[in-house]
Amino acid sequence: MEGMLCDELLQEIMRRLPASARPAASLVSKRWLTLLRSSIPSLSLCLPCGSALSSAGVAPISSILSRYSSLSTLTLVLHASSSSSSGCPNPSFSSDAVLLSLSDCASSHLPHLRHLRLLAGPVSTSVLSALPLSSPLRRLASLQLSSLRPLSFRWLLQFPFLRDLSIHDCSSFSAAAAAAAPSSAGILGGIPNQQMTNGEEEEEEEAEGKEIALNYLSLAGIRAGDHGVGWLWRRCPNLQRLHLRSCEGTGDGPSSRFFALCLQNLREVELRTCRAIADTVLLLIADHCRSLSTLVLYDGGSRDGLHHFIRRCGSALRTLDLRLPLDLDNGHLVAFGENFRSLACLRLQSCCLITGDGLRSLARAAAGAAIEELVLVNCDVVEREPGLLTFLGQSLRRLRKLDLSHNELLLDKELGAMLASCGNLVEIKLRGCKGLTDAVMPSIFRFCALLEALDVTRCQGISAKGVEFLILSSPRLRQIHVEEAKVSESAYIWASRRMIQVY
């Protein structure tokens, strides 16, 4: 009895250990190693390739996982050097075998598993549908997969507790690739592959009519002709976060008529390198979504599409993140000031058409007074117009986070003049600002008494002396990102004493 209590106490202590301290604890004794493994909530494994992951070769994985009974989060990733088609001839077969083995192992040893990342090649939808009703995998709260074969989402009906879903590559297999791909029938023990004709699919769609309780959905690589995605759009009316990456369409033809059905309750939309559909999505969001608080748009968006979105969705928006917007200009910044009453975070990167006049008009507006985070990354207007940063610092009185990374010609004098009016800053990022020197460090210390995090990585003009000065002087500093060579031994000692993390 005393031994059991002691083990439980040790496990609780080990759960609170930082990851860096766990290897040392495992060396105390075999008992401690066993207890440490059984207390770890998160684990990542790098899998070998090909034949090593046949149905007979997954036993070692099950044996390893059986030692981690407290796992709630598991990541299984295919070895990077083995992910090519030449080195891994049967990735789908491997993923299916791993998934089924994991299901068996979870039933016996992983009762708390709720988050799974299986990034080891495409997974057969027939395997997902055929998981036993008693499998803990059916109770997953979040799931990430490399890809699906074929592209279908009907298996989601078997996962009633799933809230977050990410598919890293939705590109459908061609007919030739599908014919050449290994069948999953051998893995499933004779369960037929769930392929249906178009007529059967339509009948099943009408018969099911069930909603899927997803809150977060991330899809990459959707093409205009990919069929099956519309089935998903129709069944996600409560979706709150939607991320699309490298998508040429929304599936089911040139424009899915069902896509708008998932937009009504969205709070966050992220479009990365989706230039072909960016305007369409912005227009649909503007017409169907009234509670959007975050928009992330990387590469895309026309002048008219952005204006329409700003006019219709400005009232509730709190975070706007634009990287490489095609036509963003001063007119849009003026519209920001007129329509974004609740904007708290503005991130602009590589915006070459805006000038200081546009940023000044935004700062003067009521929207500017509410901004708490400003990001101007690789924006030449910062270097092109002296005095602009000073004006922004004086106008954005609630600013708490500032990111001016990769403005290579930014000078100490300009940054110091801005910081003189930014006494509430808790985070500053200056990564890649090659024009800054040690002379800016006293300004950071003097004007930013609340500073907790600083990034001066790849700032060639800042030396170990400047880094040491800030570590020794800043009273509330907790994180600093800088090259290891610029942190002296005395600075490391002082950082350790004050619990400052050096990255």
DSSP per-residue string spanning 70-99: T-SEEEEEE-GGG-STTT-S-HHHHHHHHH
Residue 9 vs residue 43, higher pLDDT? 43
Angle between helices 412-419 and 388-395 (to 10 degrees): 10
CA distance 371 to 343: 6
Q: At what angle do helices 356-364 and 388-395 cross, to 10 degrees?
A: 10
**Which one-letter amino acid corresponds to residue 499?**
M
More confident residue, 206 or 12: 12
C-beta separation of 448 from 425 below 8 A:
yes
Q: Distances in Å between the alpha carbon of 369 and those of 32, 361, 414?
A: 55, 11, 21
CA 250, CA 417: separation in Å to the nearest integer?
47
With bands split at pLDDT 50, 70 and 90, how would you rate the model's confidence at 254? Answer: low
Does 72 have pLDDT greater than 60? Answer: yes
Look up residue 78 and give its amino acid.
L
User: How far is it, in rounded angstroms, from Cα 180 to Cα 77?
Assistant: 24
Range with lowest mean pLDDT among 107-116, 187-196, 255-264, 338-347: 187-196
User: In which residue are the tokens 């690589």 written?
Assistant: 221
Look at residue 148 and tell me whether its pLDDT is greater than 80. yes
Rounded Cα–Cα distance for residues 250 and 231 (Å):
11
CB distance 140 to 114 below 8 Å: yes
pTM, 2 dp: 0.85
Tokens read off for 469: 């000065």
Say whether pLDDT at 317 is over 60: yes
d(CA 321, CA 304): 18
Strand locations in 170-308 (E): 216-220, 241-245, 268-272, 294-298
Between CA 415 and CA 428 the distance in angstroms is 11
Whole-angstrom Cα distance, residue 215 to residue 381? 38
Residue 93 and residue 58 in contact, taking contact as beta carbons nearer than 8 Å: no
Residue 295: closest CA among 222, 354, 344, 355: 344
Query: Would you state the pLDDT for residue 179?
Result: 42
Determine whether 475 is exposed, middle or buried from the number of CB atoms within 10 Å of its CB (0-12, 13-18, 19+): exposed
DSSP secondary structure string, 6-54? HHHHHHHHHHTS-GGGHHHHHTS-HHHHHHHHHH--EEEEEE--GGGGS
Q: Are 397 and 422 in contact (CB under 8 A)?
A: no
Domain ranges in the chain are 1-40
Structure tokens at 58: 């997954």
Q: Above 80 in pLDDT, residue 357?
A: yes
**270 vs 182, residue with greater confidence:** 270
Work out the percent of the chain whose per-residue pLDDT is above 90: 58
pLDDT score, position 53: 52
What pLDDT does 376 receive? Answer: 97
What CA–CA distance (Å, rounded) separates 113 from 139? 8
- Is residue 324 a contact partner of residue 347, using CB atoms and an 8 Å limit? no
- The CA-atom distances, in angstroms, between 13 and each of 16, 36, 37, 39, 53 are 5, 9, 13, 9, 35
> Is the pLDDT confidence value at 242 over 60?
yes
Three-state DSSP at 115 gives: strand
DSSP secondary structure code for residue 107 in this structure: H
Number of Cβ atoms within 10 Å of the Cβ of 443: 17
Specify the residue for token string 């007529």: 199
Range name among 92-106, 277-291, 330-344 with the lowest pLDDT average:
92-106
Dist. CA 443–CA 261, nearest whole Å: 52
CB 308 within 8 A of CB 334: no
Identify which of 398, 402, 281 has the alpha carbon closest to the alpha carbon of residue 343: 398
What is the arithmetic mean of pLDDT over 258-280? 93
Q: Which of 246, 313, 297 is nearest to 273 (CA)?
A: 246
* Dihedral of the alpha carbons of 86, 87, 93, 97, in degrees to the nearest 10: -170
User: Under DSSP, is residue 277 helix (H, G, I), strand (E, B) or coil?
Assistant: helix
Closest to 155 (Cα-Cα) out of 181, 182, 127: 127
Residue 475 has pLDDT above 50, yes or no: yes
Other C-beta atoms lying within 10 Å of the C-beta of residue 280: 16
